Structure 1
Amino acid sequence: MKKVVVLGGGIAGVETSIFLRKYGFEVELISNRDYFYIYPISIWIPTKEKKFEDVTIPLKDLAEAHGFKFTQDKVIKVDKESFTLEKAGERRDFDYLVVALGQDKLKHKGIEHTYSICGNPNETLKYSEKLDSLIKAGKGKLAFGFGGNPKAKEAVRGGPVFELLFNVDYYLRKLKIRDKFELTFFAPMPKPGERLGEKALKMMDVMFKRLNIKSVTGKKITEFTPDGVLLEDGTKIESDLTCFVAAGDGHPAVKAGNLPQTEAGFVVIEPTNQVKGVENVYAVGDSCALEGPEWKAKQGHLAEVMARNTAYNIALKEGLEKGNPKTYIEHINILCLMDMGNGGGLAYRDDKKAMLIPLPILGHWMKKGWGIYYKLSKLGKIPRLPGM
């Protein structure tokens, strides 16, 4: 059976490996981390609803459950005919290669003074420790924001920032110290979250006012400092603790190689996820550039669609499937169950409609249930639901 090497142990890489094994391919997954991190439920680490081990799955356990090989090493370069690892050096031992390395983040001046909820998992742990120290002190100023990338507008991840903001707000209220803390949301775009539609924007504004959360938008960030955020108009958001999710940028290993890529360093692919002009290399998830409407966004569920399609399309090439190649284009939508600690909201957008459905109380427990289902189903301990 043909050998497929999957670079990356995130949502897209793991899903690709699982479905390639269903077709019987020899699969090797390579990741610099020895665990799979479930980002959507990591928002609860700072509020003590989850521990680090609750939002991780050892990759060796996934490898054993699905029959693929796991190799821990860092990918430093990806070319059309080879890839290079930090420890093992250059390798060419594959029939197909799938790039699922995710993305890097834009480097803002002073970004080392911030913590991301969507970056290195250790940052979430450090954010949690810093929040604990402020809670013990009994007061503080907290800032929550995200940025954009003009060269890749779909590489923005704002949802987790809103979720962390609302969860921290609720957490402080439960501790009965919310009045001792000043919470501020910030973003350089005039209408952050507009991808979700006008209804969602209006509801977000209502929530901010009701919860006494300040909002500073439409001002570019010039620098982060240990005590705040400096803006282009000379004003400053004072902050003792800043959560900031920078917009995505191309992965360093992709930028270092010769795969076709955009100005921002994202892999250029066909709608089938085959790398443009390269017969046996595919790219899935955050590593690649997306086609589609202006409001498109990179999300986990789309990454998994790409992963499953890629496994199918490779199987099709090998005569293990019949039919036409599958594409991700028709699956482009925004789907997000936004948790708020004491409830949530279901946001959805496609070419025909945009909606946000409030789910008081229920929304929080729905996301908690999804987290349990996701972890158990990935390990093969419970059946997977169709489309999930």
Structure 2
Amino acid sequence: MNITILGTGFAALTAVKQTRKQLPDAEITVIAPNKKLVYLPSIIWIPAREKQGKSLEVDLTKFFARQNVNYIQASVTNVTNKGRTVVTTEGEYQNDGLIIATGGRFIKKLPGIEHAITPCEGIAAAEAIRDKLDSMSGGTIAIGFGGNPNEPSAMRGGPMFEFLFGIDTLLRRQGRRDKFEIIFFNPAPQPGKRLGDKVPNAVLKMMAKKGIKTELGHKMKGFEANKVITEGTEFHADMILFMPGMTGPAWLQDSEIEKSAGGMIKANELCQVEGLEKTYVAGDSGSYPGPDWQAKQAHAADLQATTASQNLASELQGRVPTEVIKHELICIIDTLSHGVFIKRTEQGTTLLPPCRLMHFAKKFFEWWYLRQYR
């Protein structure tokens, strides 16, 4: 049997490992534009030169060889035939089972959004932040994030807090924080609430302590070259970092696959694509039932991929799939010197105050996680 997995991110690579574990004799094919994993959680350290972009890219050639994977370098353009055919830029490929992990896409509809840097677009974006900071002798830095109103989980708030606090720490280390004004903006009056009820107050207190100004509770209208514009205010900014909400991958728009109101692949609690057999989704491209605080990236994507792989194996072996998604959000908001540990489950939230040990724990986790793919 041929199992096809789309993507080379967290969810896709966990799906490779778990599928090989469940189906040791299966033929596994990975389709993706590049044979590499980019470890996005650590791009927050690029502006301070604590990480170089190349160190966060892992060539997957050896990992694919160990897992006995067939790799096809191509971009997905559609999934047809009730999941059994993947249409790509290099032709069509058939499968007996499919796991979609192609990631999401940032919603770039706000007027003037080209004037803002979107940090989580990758290494190049983080390097652009680094270079811009180096060129500035002072000024105003505006940092914020938005969401997808039809998909509460499709946002990237945590990394923006990290860029915010990391830039503050960097400027202090350089002895030039007094030459900069830092403004955090967000349409929500309590940003970060998805991380837990205690988090908004905690991060806002950290901002106040560090002299970071806030503009909260006003819907975004757009940007100009040196300006942030909301329905309640507008203000000057010499550098703008903005993370918009996310929607599904570009290829999904014209696909027969059922989509959620937010433009994601609609899935059930098994990670199974709605209405399709032996077809699953994991990570940012999916829309899953569950709490409105659920995450879809990094650790959460790994959990979804494990669920998808186990259920696909069950289907292919003639059993009824029963594994349901484990909803668990774990993150460390890093400040370049300290880390704030947050864990949220359906039982509640654990929030630890800033701690130097958590900063080093986050760096250690990168090494520990990537060693399996190097």
TM-score range, shorter chain: over 0.9
Q: Which residue of 2 aligns with 1:170?
A: 169
TM-score (norm 2): 0.94
Q: How far 1:343 sits from its partner (Å)?
A: 0.7
Is the contact between residue 156 and residue 298 of structure 1 (CA under 8 Å) also seen in structure 2?
no
Question: Within the alignment, does 1:367 sit opposite 2:362 as a pair?
Answer: yes
Evaluate the alpha carbon distance shift between residue 215 and residue 82 of structure 1 in structure 2; reply closer, same or farther with a 3 A threshold. same
**2:232 matches 1:196:** no
3-state secondary structure, aligned to 2:94: coil
2:105 aligned partner: 104
Q: Tell me which amino acid in the other structure corresponds to 1:35.
A: K
The CA RMSD over aligned residues, in Å, is: 1.8
Superposed CA offset, 1:182-239 (max 9, x none): 1111111111101223322221121111100011111111111221211113x32321
Q: Cα deviations across residues 160-185 of structure 1 (Å, max 9, x unaligned)?
A: 00011111111111111111111111
- Residue 135 (structure 2) aligns with: 133
1:327 corresponds to = 324
CA–CA distance in structure 2, aligned partners of residues 61 and 184 of structure 1: 44
Aligned 8 A contact 1:78 1:256 in 2? no
Asked if structure 2 preserves the Cα contact closer than 8 Å seen for 1:200 and 1:355, the reply is no
**Rounded Cα–Cα distance in structure 2 between residues aligned with 1:117 and 1:41:** 11
Tell me how far 1:273 sits from its aligned partner: 1.4
1:174 is matched by which residue type in structure 2? R
| Secondary structure of 1:98's aligned partner | strand
Q: Write the distance in 2 (CA, Å) between the matches of 1:200 and 1:178.
A: 25
Which residue of 277, 281, 296 corresponds with 2:294?
Answer: 296
**Structure 1: which 5+ runs fail to align?**
380-388
Question: Where does residue 18 of structure 1 map in the other structure?
Answer: 17
Name the structure 2 match of 1:377.
372
Aligned counterparts of 1:287 and 1:58: Cα–Cα separation in 2: 23
Contact 2:312 2:321 (C-alpha < 8 Å) held by counterparts? no
Is the contact made by 2:116 and 2:240 (CA closer than 8 Å) also made in structure 1?
Answer: yes
* Alignment correspondent of 2:86: 83
Matched ranges for 1:197-346 at <5 A: 197-233=196-232, 235-319=233-317, 325-328=322-325, 331-346=326-341
Output the amino acid matched with 1:339: D
Q: Deviations over 1:22-60 (max 9, x none)?
A: 332211111123321111111111110000111111132
The letter of the residue matching 1:93 is: Q
Percent pairwise identity: 31
Query: 1:200, 1:186 → 2: CA distance?
Result: 16
In the TM superposition, residue 323 of structure 1 has moved relative to its aligned partner by 8.6
The aligned residue for residue 382 of structure 1 is none
Q: Deviations over 1:39-82 (max 9, x none)?
A: 11111111100001111111323312322122221112223332
Separation in structure 2 between the aligned mates of residue 224 and residue 59 of structure 1, nearest angstrom: 39
| Superposed displacement of residue 6, structure 1 | 0.9
Give the aligned residue type for 2:115. H
Give the TM-score of the pair, scaled to structure 1.
Answer: 0.90
> Deviation per CA, 1:255-299, whole angstroms, max 9, x where unpaired?
221011112221111222121221121111111102112332323
What is the match of residue 29 of structure 1? 30
Q: 1:305 to 1:66 in 2, by over 3 A?
A: same
- 8 Å contact 1:196–1:355 — kept in the other structure? no
Q: Distance in 1 between the 2:203 and 2:312 partners? A: 42
